[in-house]
Amino acid sequence: MKATVIISVYKNVKVLSLILESLRVQTCKDFDIIISEDGEDAAMRQFVEQYDWFCRYKHLTQTDDGWRKNRALNRAVLAANNEWLIFIDGDCVVHRRFVEMHLRYAEPNKILLGKRVKLSSDISTQLLDSTLSVSDLPALMWRLLFFNRGCRYVDEGLFIPYFLSFSLRSTRSLTGCNMSFSREAIMSINGFDEDYVRPAIGEDVDIYWRLKANGYEPISIRNRAIAYHLYHKENWTEQEENKVKMELNIKKNQIVCLNGISNHLPII
Protein backbone atom coordinates (compact mmCIF):
# COMPACT_ATOMS: atom_id res chain seq x y z
CA MET A 1 0.00 0.00 0.00
CA LYS A 2 1.17 3.54 -0.75
CA ALA A 3 0.34 6.65 1.25
CA THR A 4 -0.36 10.30 0.68
CA VAL A 5 1.03 12.51 3.45
CA ILE A 6 -1.20 15.56 3.90
CA ILE A 7 0.52 18.50 5.61
CA SER A 8 -1.72 21.28 6.93
CA VAL A 9 0.14 24.59 6.69
CA TYR A 10 -0.38 28.29 7.22
CA LYS A 11 2.39 30.72 6.21
CA ASN A 12 5.34 29.24 8.13
CA VAL A 13 7.77 28.38 5.33
CA LYS A 14 10.75 27.74 7.60
CA VAL A 15 8.94 25.03 9.52
CA LEU A 16 7.61 23.47 6.31
CA SER A 17 11.19 23.21 5.06
CA LEU A 18 12.12 21.31 8.23
CA ILE A 19 9.10 19.01 7.89
CA LEU A 20 10.01 18.17 4.31
CA GLU A 21 13.59 17.38 5.29
CA SER A 22 12.25 14.92 7.88
CA LEU A 23 10.14 13.32 5.14
CA ARG A 24 13.06 13.24 2.69
CA VAL A 25 14.93 10.74 4.89
CA GLN A 26 12.04 8.34 5.52
CA THR A 27 12.92 4.64 5.50
CA CYS A 28 9.78 4.02 3.44
CA LYS A 29 9.52 5.89 0.13
CA ASP A 30 6.02 4.73 -0.86
CA PHE A 31 4.33 8.09 -0.44
CA ASP A 32 3.60 11.38 -2.06
CA ILE A 33 2.82 14.71 -0.43
CA ILE A 34 -0.02 17.19 -0.46
CA ILE A 35 0.62 20.58 1.07
CA SER A 36 -2.80 21.67 2.26
CA GLU A 37 -2.58 25.42 2.76
CA ASP A 38 -5.37 27.31 4.48
CA GLY A 39 -4.44 30.47 2.62
CA GLU A 40 -2.59 31.78 -0.43
CA ASP A 41 0.74 33.00 0.91
CA ALA A 42 3.14 34.24 -1.79
CA ALA A 43 6.24 33.15 0.15
CA MET A 44 4.79 29.68 0.58
CA ARG A 45 4.03 29.39 -3.14
CA GLN A 46 7.54 30.52 -4.08
CA PHE A 47 9.14 28.08 -1.64
CA VAL A 48 7.13 25.13 -2.94
CA GLU A 49 7.87 25.98 -6.57
CA GLN A 50 11.61 26.27 -5.95
CA TYR A 51 12.00 23.33 -3.54
CA ASP A 52 14.17 20.38 -4.59
CA TRP A 53 11.39 17.79 -4.51
CA PHE A 54 12.14 14.15 -3.78
CA CYS A 55 8.65 12.74 -4.46
CA ARG A 56 5.43 13.60 -6.23
CA TYR A 57 3.60 16.51 -4.63
CA LYS A 58 0.64 18.83 -4.91
CA HIS A 59 0.19 22.26 -3.38
CA LEU A 60 -3.41 23.23 -2.72
CA THR A 61 -4.39 26.76 -1.69
CA GLN A 62 -7.57 28.64 -0.89
CA THR A 63 -8.42 32.22 -0.05
CA ASP A 64 -7.35 33.27 3.44
CA ASP A 65 -10.77 33.81 4.95
CA GLY A 66 -10.49 32.80 8.60
CA TRP A 67 -9.85 29.30 9.96
CA ARG A 68 -10.94 26.89 7.24
CA LYS A 69 -8.56 24.01 7.80
CA ASN A 70 -11.34 21.43 7.43
CA ARG A 71 -12.26 22.77 4.02
CA ALA A 72 -8.62 22.58 2.97
CA LEU A 73 -8.37 19.01 4.27
CA ASN A 74 -11.44 17.91 2.34
CA ARG A 75 -9.96 19.26 -0.87
CA ALA A 76 -6.70 17.45 -0.08
CA VAL A 77 -8.51 14.14 0.45
CA LEU A 78 -10.13 14.46 -2.98
CA ALA A 79 -6.77 15.31 -4.56
CA ALA A 80 -4.95 12.34 -3.01
CA ASN A 81 -3.60 9.75 -5.46
CA ASN A 82 -3.22 6.98 -2.88
CA GLU A 83 -5.73 5.14 -0.73
CA TRP A 84 -3.96 5.50 2.64
CA LEU A 85 -3.93 9.03 4.05
CA ILE A 86 -1.46 10.21 6.72
CA PHE A 87 -2.11 13.60 8.33
CA ILE A 88 0.45 15.86 9.99
CA ASP A 89 0.31 19.51 10.99
CA GLY A 90 2.57 22.30 9.83
CA ASP A 91 4.25 22.53 13.23
CA CYS A 92 5.46 18.91 13.50
CA VAL A 93 8.52 17.12 12.15
CA VAL A 94 8.57 13.33 12.09
CA HIS A 95 10.76 10.36 12.95
CA ARG A 96 12.47 8.73 9.95
CA ARG A 97 10.31 5.60 10.35
CA PHE A 98 7.07 7.58 10.60
CA VAL A 99 5.63 6.62 7.20
CA GLU A 100 6.92 3.07 7.51
CA MET A 101 5.04 2.55 10.78
CA HIS A 102 1.80 4.07 9.51
CA LEU A 103 1.88 1.75 6.51
CA ARG A 104 2.92 -1.29 8.54
CA TYR A 105 -0.28 -1.09 10.59
CA ALA A 106 -2.56 0.17 7.81
CA GLU A 107 -5.75 -1.80 7.21
CA PRO A 108 -8.90 -0.64 5.43
CA ASN A 109 -11.10 -0.93 8.54
CA LYS A 110 -8.63 0.72 10.95
CA ILE A 111 -7.95 4.24 12.25
CA LEU A 112 -4.33 4.68 13.32
CA LEU A 113 -3.71 6.84 16.38
CA GLY A 114 -0.26 8.36 16.79
CA LYS A 115 0.94 10.86 19.40
CA ARG A 116 3.52 13.67 19.64
CA VAL A 117 6.15 14.99 21.99
CA LYS A 118 6.05 18.75 22.58
CA LEU A 119 9.54 20.15 22.16
CA SER A 120 10.84 23.01 24.26
CA SER A 121 11.44 26.48 22.86
CA ASP A 122 15.20 25.94 23.08
CA ILE A 123 15.23 22.66 21.15
CA SER A 124 12.79 24.01 18.57
CA THR A 125 15.03 27.02 17.98
CA GLN A 126 18.06 24.76 17.54
CA LEU A 127 16.19 22.74 14.91
CA LEU A 128 15.10 25.85 13.03
CA ASP A 129 18.59 27.39 12.99
CA SER A 130 20.15 24.01 12.03
CA THR A 131 22.35 23.64 15.11
CA LEU A 132 20.34 20.48 15.82
CA SER A 133 19.22 17.99 13.19
CA VAL A 134 15.93 16.09 13.08
CA SER A 135 18.04 12.93 12.95
CA ASP A 136 19.39 13.83 16.41
CA LEU A 137 15.95 13.73 18.03
CA PRO A 138 15.49 9.98 18.65
CA ALA A 139 18.66 9.74 20.77
CA LEU A 140 17.88 13.08 22.41
CA MET A 141 14.48 11.80 23.58
CA TRP A 142 16.10 9.04 25.63
CA ARG A 143 18.41 11.56 27.30
CA LEU A 144 15.52 13.93 27.98
CA LEU A 145 13.62 11.15 29.68
CA PHE A 146 16.11 11.49 32.55
CA PHE A 147 17.31 15.09 32.10
CA ASN A 148 14.37 17.01 30.69
CA ARG A 149 14.85 20.57 29.43
CA GLY A 150 11.30 21.81 29.21
CA CYS A 151 9.80 19.31 26.77
CA ARG A 152 6.37 17.79 27.43
CA TYR A 153 5.26 14.20 26.87
CA VAL A 154 8.85 13.07 26.27
CA ASP A 155 7.78 9.42 26.62
CA GLU A 156 5.81 9.85 23.38
CA GLY A 157 9.09 10.52 21.57
CA LEU A 158 10.67 7.16 22.40
CA PHE A 159 10.75 4.84 19.40
CA ILE A 160 10.08 1.23 20.38
CA PRO A 161 10.73 -1.36 17.64
CA TYR A 162 7.61 -2.98 16.20
CA PHE A 163 8.74 -6.52 17.11
CA LEU A 164 8.35 -5.58 20.78
CA SER A 165 4.59 -5.79 20.37
CA PHE A 166 3.95 -6.17 24.08
CA SER A 167 5.23 -2.63 24.63
CA LEU A 168 2.72 -0.91 22.34
CA ARG A 169 0.75 1.42 24.59
CA SER A 170 -2.90 2.02 23.91
CA THR A 171 -4.53 5.41 23.53
CA ARG A 172 -8.15 6.53 23.45
CA SER A 173 -7.67 9.77 21.58
CA LEU A 174 -6.99 10.84 18.03
CA THR A 175 -4.37 13.55 17.49
CA GLY A 176 -4.84 15.48 14.27
CA CYS A 177 -1.10 16.02 13.79
CA ASN A 178 -0.43 12.25 13.71
CA MET A 179 -3.27 10.11 12.38
CA SER A 180 -4.04 7.98 9.35
CA PHE A 181 -6.90 6.09 7.75
CA SER A 182 -8.13 5.10 4.33
CA ARG A 183 -9.61 7.47 1.81
CA GLU A 184 -12.69 5.27 1.80
CA ALA A 185 -13.07 5.73 5.56
CA ILE A 186 -13.11 9.51 5.48
CA MET A 187 -15.36 9.56 2.42
CA SER A 188 -17.85 7.33 4.23
CA ILE A 189 -18.57 10.10 6.76
CA ASN A 190 -18.50 12.91 4.18
CA GLY A 191 -15.05 14.05 5.27
CA PHE A 192 -14.17 16.78 7.74
CA ASP A 193 -17.09 18.86 8.98
CA GLU A 194 -16.75 22.39 7.59
CA ASP A 195 -19.23 23.75 10.10
CA TYR A 196 -16.24 23.92 12.49
CA VAL A 197 -14.70 27.34 11.93
CA ARG A 198 -12.44 27.40 14.98
CA PRO A 199 -9.34 25.27 15.70
CA ALA A 200 -9.49 22.06 17.77
CA ILE A 201 -12.03 19.24 17.96
CA GLY A 202 -13.35 19.58 14.41
CA GLU A 203 -10.23 18.20 12.74
CA ASP A 204 -9.60 15.28 15.09
CA VAL A 205 -11.96 14.56 18.01
CA ASP A 206 -15.05 14.96 15.84
CA ILE A 207 -13.53 12.77 13.12
CA TYR A 208 -12.67 10.12 15.71
CA TRP A 209 -16.16 9.61 17.10
CA ARG A 210 -17.74 9.62 13.66
CA LEU A 211 -15.31 7.06 12.23
CA LYS A 212 -15.74 4.80 15.25
CA ALA A 213 -19.52 5.13 15.09
CA ASN A 214 -19.29 4.13 11.43
CA GLY A 215 -17.54 0.86 12.32
CA TYR A 216 -13.84 1.73 12.01
CA GLU A 217 -11.53 0.31 14.68
CA PRO A 218 -8.94 2.55 16.38
CA ILE A 219 -5.42 1.14 16.65
CA SER A 220 -2.68 2.76 18.72
CA ILE A 221 0.72 3.30 17.09
CA ARG A 222 2.23 5.22 20.00
CA ASN A 223 6.02 4.97 20.13
CA ARG A 224 6.00 3.66 16.56
CA ALA A 225 4.97 6.60 14.37
CA ILE A 226 6.47 9.58 16.21
CA ALA A 227 5.88 13.27 15.61
CA TYR A 228 7.84 16.08 17.27
CA HIS A 229 5.79 19.22 17.85
CA LEU A 230 7.79 22.44 17.55
CA TYR A 231 7.23 25.02 20.25
CA HIS A 232 5.06 28.03 19.51
CA LYS A 233 2.59 30.13 21.43
CA GLU A 234 -0.92 28.72 21.22
CA ASN A 235 -3.13 30.84 18.98
CA TRP A 236 -6.39 29.55 20.44
CA THR A 237 -7.80 28.77 23.86
CA GLU A 238 -11.59 28.70 23.64
CA GLN A 239 -13.07 25.36 22.60
CA GLU A 240 -16.55 25.60 24.08
CA GLU A 241 -18.26 26.47 20.78
CA ASN A 242 -16.77 23.40 19.11
CA LYS A 243 -17.60 21.16 22.08
CA VAL A 244 -21.23 22.22 22.00
CA LYS A 245 -21.39 21.62 18.25
CA MET A 246 -19.92 18.13 18.55
CA GLU A 247 -22.08 17.12 21.51
CA LEU A 248 -25.18 18.13 19.57
CA ASN A 249 -24.05 16.02 16.60
CA ILE A 250 -23.41 13.05 18.89
CA LYS A 251 -26.87 13.42 20.39
CA LYS A 252 -28.38 13.42 16.89
CA ASN A 253 -26.04 10.58 15.83
CA GLN A 254 -24.95 12.77 12.91
CA ILE A 255 -22.18 10.42 11.74
CA VAL A 256 -22.22 11.68 8.16
CA CYS A 257 -21.70 15.44 8.37
CA LEU A 258 -23.93 17.71 6.31
CA ASN A 259 -21.30 20.28 5.35
CA GLY A 260 -18.36 18.21 4.20
CA ILE A 261 -16.42 16.75 1.33
CA SER A 262 -19.47 16.50 -0.92
CA ASN A 263 -19.28 20.31 -1.26
CA HIS A 264 -16.25 19.83 -3.49
CA LEU A 265 -17.45 16.99 -5.70
CA PRO A 266 -18.36 17.83 -9.28
CA ILE A 267 -22.06 18.17 -9.98
CA ILE A 268 -23.12 15.46 -12.42
- In which domain, by residue range, is 70 found? 3-264
84-89 vs 179-182, strand pairing mode: antiparallel
Which residues neighbour 215 within 8 Å (Cβ) at sequence distance 6 or greater? 109
Q: How far apart are CA 257 and CA 188, in angstroms?
A: 10
Query: What backbone phi and psi angles, to 5 degrees, belong to 101?
Result: -70, -40
Least confident of 80-94, 163-177, 188-202: 163-177
Q: How many structural domains compose the chain?
A: 1
State the pTM of this model: 0.95
Which pLDDT value is given to residue 268?
53
Query: What backbone phi and psi angles, to 5 degrees, belong to 225?
Result: -95, 105
Mind listing the pLDDT tens digit for each residue in 74-93? 999 999 999 999 999 999 99
At residue 237 the predicted structure's pLDDT band, cuts being 50, 70 and 90, is low
H helices of the chain, in order, are 13-24, 42-50, 69-79, 98-104, 121-128, 137-144, 183-188, 205-213, 240-251
At residue 180 the predicted structure's pLDDT band, cuts being 50, 70 and 90, is very high
8 Å CB contact between 22 and 90: no
Closest C-alpha among 217, 243, 236 to residue 109? 217
CATH at 154: 3.90.550.10
Query: What backbone phi and psi angles, to 5 degrees, belong to 180?
Result: -155, 155
* Mean pLDDT (whole number) for 140-161: 89
Q: What is the percentage of the chain residues whose pLDDT exceeds 70?
A: 95
8 Å CB contact between 14 and 89: no
